[in-house]
Amino acid sequence: MNTAQRSQTPQKSQTLHIRGLRVSLPGTARPVLDGVDLEVGAGQTVALVGESGSGKTLTSRAALGMLPAGATASGVVEVDGQDVLTMDARALRRLRTTTAAMIFQDPRAGINPVRRVGDFLTEALRTNGAADKRTARKRALALLDAVGLPERVLRQYPHELSGGMLQRVMIAASLMADPVLLLADEPTTALDVTTQAEIIALLRDLQSRFGTALLFVTHDLELAAVIADRVAVMYAGRIVETGPAEQVFADPKHPYTAALLAATPRLDAPAGRLAVIPGRVPDLRTEIAGCAFAGRCAHAVDACGQERPETAAVPDRSQATVACWRSSTLTLQGGASRG
Ligand SMILES: Nc1ncnc2c1ncn2[C@@H]1O[C@H](COP(=O)(O)OP(=O)(O)OP(=O)(O)O)[C@@H](O)[C@H]1O
């Protein structure tokens, strides 16, 4: 681990810097990502939250240059100062094996079932030429230990491990090359609640020990509140609110954030009182003139449906933004006990 080395390096830029990212897919009336701005600072954890279909996965995959076939992209995507959208195949491979790594929802989908865990863990370092067999094995052992797994796992096959153990293996694998950025896309959704909590605690611990920046994609606001320093709320392909997680959850500035908080099931809520946000995320086959949330927003006025709100700084809040015409005049309900 070279955290010390890293901290001596001047921070020229954010670890992940996305500015004005537009991604269009064939057969859609509007871009699926419609001007995304997102920053993840060195060593920071940012939760990217929003309903299904808002574009969270596409945004995190864009950070590794992994866009769907036929997609066209414009804007800026930089990881550790490297321009991802203009990278050739070789540079992209390097980016994905050394600078950044992704942890997926289903660990079984990302691992070859007929290879031993040890080979899986050491493979990338060895084929990269970044380490010889012995060094790679030593690193694999150290990381297995860091994720709380015993040495024997190196000799085991994926089917011999539980889902939680396998997700620990995937987390160890993601750290093998000492990346500056981890992208975790709903990494605990496939796990039971207890294992979920363990994996979240592990990610928090590793993230602070290794100093890796983390973009944590989730639709679960409770999880976001537990893990994140900062939060970015996404709706219909755009970031509508950002800020320190605690402040955003306690005092949301965008009606969509407030609606998400109100719709989040709570342990102390009476059974059956599970709210949902009325309406749906607008279909990609429709164009949107003004604010994409206007049709579902309890606070919308005529102007909201006509002109798209600019992203503006939230007064008196550190590095916080909101894209809502009405935010300065609204008092919204937060989730005070969260975070
Ligand atoms: N390969 C693809 N081809 C066509 N449409 C796609 C493709 N990938 C994503 N989309 C569409 O892009 C939109 C955003 O998808 P994305 O998976 O990024 O959303 P999400 O916020 O991560 O949702 P979820 O939580 O369900 O994963 C959705 O409407 C989805 O149907």
54 lines ligand 1 (CB under 6 A): yes
3-state secondary structure (DSSP) of residue 88? coil
170 lines ligand 1 (CB under 6 A): no
Nearest-angstrom CA–CA distance, 280 and 318: 31
Ligand 1 center from residue 246 Cα (angstroms):
28
Nearest CA to ligand 1 atom 1: 68
- Which residues sit opposite 101 in a β-bridge? 182
The position carrying tokens 């001047």 is: 10
DSSP 303: G
Asked if residues 107 and 172 have their Cβ atoms less than 8 Å apart, the reply is no
Mutate to test the pocket of ligand 1, among 33, 58, 239 (most ligand atoms within 8 A of CB): 58
Nearest CA to ligand 1 atom 28: 53
- The upper half-sphere exposure of residue 287, i.e. CA atoms within 13 Å in the direction of its Cβ, equals 4
Asked if residues 190 and 105 have their Cβ atoms less than 8 Å apart, the reply is yes
pLDDT band at 305 (very low <50, low <70, confident <90, very high): very high
- The upper half-sphere exposure of residue 199, i.e. CA atoms within 13 Å in the direction of its Cβ, equals 29
Q: Got the DSSP string for 145-166?
A: HHTT--GGGGG--GGGS-HHHH
Compute CA distances 115 → 69, 132, 243, whole Å: 29, 19, 43
pTM comes to: 0.90
Per-residue pLDDT reduced to its tens digit, 48-107: 999 989 999 999 999 999 999 999 999 999 999 999 999 999 999 999 988 999 998 888
171 lines ligand 1 (CB under 6 A): no
pLDDT band at 13 (very low <50, low <70, confident <90, very high): low
Ligand 1 center from residue 291 Cα (angstroms):
20
Asked if residues 173 and 194 have their Cβ atoms less than 8 Å apart, the reply is no
Q: How much of the chain exceeds pLDDT 90, in percent?
A: 64
Lowest-pLDDT range of 37-51, 64-78, 120-134, 233-247:
120-134
Nearest-angstrom CA–CA distance, 219 and 242: 15
Asked if residues 71 and 190 have their Cβ atoms less than 8 Å apart, the reply is no
Enumerate domains of the chain plus CATH numbers. Answer: 3-329 (3.40.50.300)
pLDDT band at 12 (very low <50, low <70, confident <90, very high): very low
pLDDT band at 7 (very low <50, low <70, confident <90, very high): very low
CA 25 to chain centroid: 21
pLDDT band at 1 (very low <50, low <70, confident <90, very high): very low
Asked if residues 135 and 182 have their Cβ atoms less than 8 Å apart, the reply is no
Ligand 1 center from residue 57 Cα (angstroms):
7
Alpha helices in 88-162, H assignment, sequence order: 89-94, 117-128, 133-146
Lowest-pLDDT range of 110-124, 140-154, 262-276:
262-276
Structure tokens at 249: 């959850």
Per-residue pLDDT reduced to its tens digit, 125-168: 777 667 788 888 999 999 999 999 999 999 999 999 999 999 99
Q: Which residue has the higher pLDDT, 268 or 181?
A: 181
238 lines ligand 1 (CB under 6 A): no
The position carrying tokens 């808002």 is: 54
Q: Which residue has the higher pLDDT, 155 or 334?
A: 155
Nearest CA to ligand 1 atom 30: 53
Backbone angles phi and psi of 175, in degrees to 5: -95, -5
User: By CB neighbour count within 10 A (0-12 exposed, 13-18 middle, 19+ buried), where does 12 fall?
Assistant: exposed
Ligand 1 center from residue 90 Cα (angstroms):
26
Nearest-angstrom CA–CA distance, 72 and 62: 11
Can you give the length of the chain in residues?
Answer: 339
Asked if residues 143 and 172 have their Cβ atoms less than 8 Å apart, the reply is yes
Supply the pLDDT for residue 129.
Answer: 67
